[in-house]
């Protein structure tokens, strides 16, 4: 990737002819997955650590999570860091060139003899889908849609952080749920949803929740999603309204990408992934129904490999070239 890291080894010339072991990462706002692979593309270990989105938590903490998951994988396989010849890191929050460069340089310090490839989590997910036209919808702490058509053209919608996007994400759903509960309280009624949110956040005072939401929103809004999901499945009208609005936002991301890639009425692989998927029967059913109105010929499916494995394979190819 041509890192400018102040005199460190050029990652593109490390181990140019032979690759022994590769680390692949899939990191976002909630967790980091690490896979250790060998040169025969066999997964030797798979481990997890905390969040590694540098745009949300900073480069230092993001690298710390990556190192933690890597060391766990290496320990499981009985290997040392020095044997790693390539690292592929698919990370949320690295779409901007400067952040990508900073993460690349930081990882080069952690793995000085390895070829470093940094790509976004969306790039890794699309690579994991295999060949052919595909759209990936990621709905976790943040949200985005990323796609490719048969001509290899790429389009993206969303995924630029909560200040300008992330509609329909766990962050957005949690924010809406807390606002709804506080509005009900201001009207003189403590809703069932509101009581469940307070219990989830281990708080008894809405003023404390409001203060924490302003100072540490990533620790307040996303954890509320499971409460909304469970409440919607139990028939809570307020929770269902929040998830219906989130459904419209997520489908709009897919529709935007499909329109720009001219895939609206064509067959392609559609993969939905992220921490909000598979958590609510109500949410999943409405999302699946909504697809049919905007991309009726889409084939709902799964990734060929995990994004972490795809990131490792991308790194392997980059190093071999």
The pLDDT, as a whole number, for residue 12 is: 45
Q: What whole-number distance in Å separates Cα of residue 254 and Cα of residue 285? A: 16
Residues 32 and 113 in one domain: yes
Beta bridge partners of 118: 89
Cα separation of 67 and 229, whole Å?
A: 33
For the chain, the C-alpha Rg in angstroms (whole number) is 21
Q: Are residues 139 and 95 in the same domain?
A: no
Q: Which residues of 161-187 are buried (b: 16+ CB within 10 A; e: fewer)?
A: bbeebbbbbbbbbbbbbbebbbebeee
SS (H, E, C) 246-268: HHHHHHHHHHHHHHHCCCCCCCE
Please indicate, yes or no, if residue 3 is contained in any of the structural domains.
Answer: no
Residue 223 neighbours by CB under 8 Å, 6+ apart: 174, 200, 201
- Asked if 33 and 88 sit in the same domain, the reply is yes
Burial of 283: CB neighbours in 10 Å, binned 0-12, 13-18, 19+: buried
- The number of distinct structural domains making up the chain is 2
CA distance 102 to 54: 9
Q: Are residues 149 and 297 in the same domain?
A: yes
SS3 305: coil
Residues 248 and 314 in one domain: no
Host H or E run for residue 182: helix 170-186
Strand order in the sheet with 134-139: 154-158, 143-148, 134-139, 268-273, 298-300
* Residue 47 maps to a domain: yes
The per-residue pLDDT string of the chain (321 residues; one tens digit each, 9 = 90 and over) reads 456 676 544 444 444 445 479 999 999 989 999 999 998 999 999 999 999 999 999 999 999 999 999 999 999 999 999 999 999 999 999 999 999 999 999 999 999 989 999 999 999 999 999 999 999 999 999 999 999 999 999 999 998 888 888 999 999 999 999 999 999 888 877 789 999 999 999 998 999 999 999 999 999 999 999 999 999 999 999 999 999 999 999 999 999 999 999 999 999 999 999 999 999 999 999 999 999 999 999 999 999 999 999 999 999 988 766
pLDDT of residue 36: 98
Owning domain of residue 52: 11-127+306-320
Supply the DSSP symbol for 93: T
Q: Rounded to 5 degrees, what angle do the CA atoms 136, 141, 146 make?
A: 20
| Dist. CA 138–CA 157, nearest whole Å | 11
CATH number, position 35 = 3.30.420.40
Output the pLDDT for position 212: 93
Its pTM stands at: 0.86
Q: Does residue 224 form part of some domain?
A: yes
Residue 88 confidence (pLDDT): 98
Q: Do the domain assignments include residue 121?
A: yes
pLDDT the model gives residue 17: 46
Is 147 in the same domain as 266? yes
**Cβ 248 vs Cβ 255: under 8 Å:** no
Residue 14: per-residue pLDDT: 45
Q: Does a structural domain hold residue 149?
A: yes
């Amino acid at each position: 990737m041509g890192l400018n890291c102040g005199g460190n080894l050029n990652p593109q010339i490390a181990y140019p002819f032979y690759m022994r072991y590769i680390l692949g990462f899939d990191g976002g706002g909630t967790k980091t997955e690490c896979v250790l692979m060998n040169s025969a593309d066999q997964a030797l270990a798979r481990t997890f650590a905390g969040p590694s989105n540098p745009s949300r938590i900073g480069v230092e903490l993001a690298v710390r999570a990556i190192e933690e998951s890597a060391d766990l994988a290496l320990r499981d396989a009985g290997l040392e860091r020095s044997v790693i010849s390539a690292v592929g890191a698919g990370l949320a929050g690295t779409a901007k060139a400067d952040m990508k460069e900073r993460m690349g340089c930081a990882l080069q310090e952690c793995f000085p003899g390895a070829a470093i490839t940094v790509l976004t989590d969306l790039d890794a997910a699309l690579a994991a889908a295999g060949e052919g036209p595909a759209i990936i919808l990621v709905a976790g702490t943040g949200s985005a849609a990323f796609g490719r058509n048969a001509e290899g053209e790429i389009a993206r919608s969303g995924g630029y952080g909560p200040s300008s996007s992330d509609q329909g994400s766990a962050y957005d759903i949690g924010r809406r749920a807390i606002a709804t509960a506080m509005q009900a309280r201001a009207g003189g009624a403590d809703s069932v949803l509101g009581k469940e949110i307070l219990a989830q956040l281990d708080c008894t005072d809405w003023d404390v929740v409001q203060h924490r939401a302003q100072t540490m929103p990533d620790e307040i809004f996303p954890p509320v999603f499971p409460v909304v999901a469970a409440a919607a499945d139990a028939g809570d009208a307020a929770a269902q309204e929040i998830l219906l609005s989130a459904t419209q936002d997520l489908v709009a991301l897919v529709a935007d990408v499909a329109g720009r890639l001219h895939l609206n009425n064509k067959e392609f692989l559609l993969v939905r992934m992220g921490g909000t998927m598979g958590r609510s029967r109500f949410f999943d059913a409405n999302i699946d129904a909504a697809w049919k109105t905007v991309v009726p010929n889409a084939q709902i499916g799964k990734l060929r490999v995990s994004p972490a494995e795809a990131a490792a394979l991308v790194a392997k190819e980059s190093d071999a070239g």
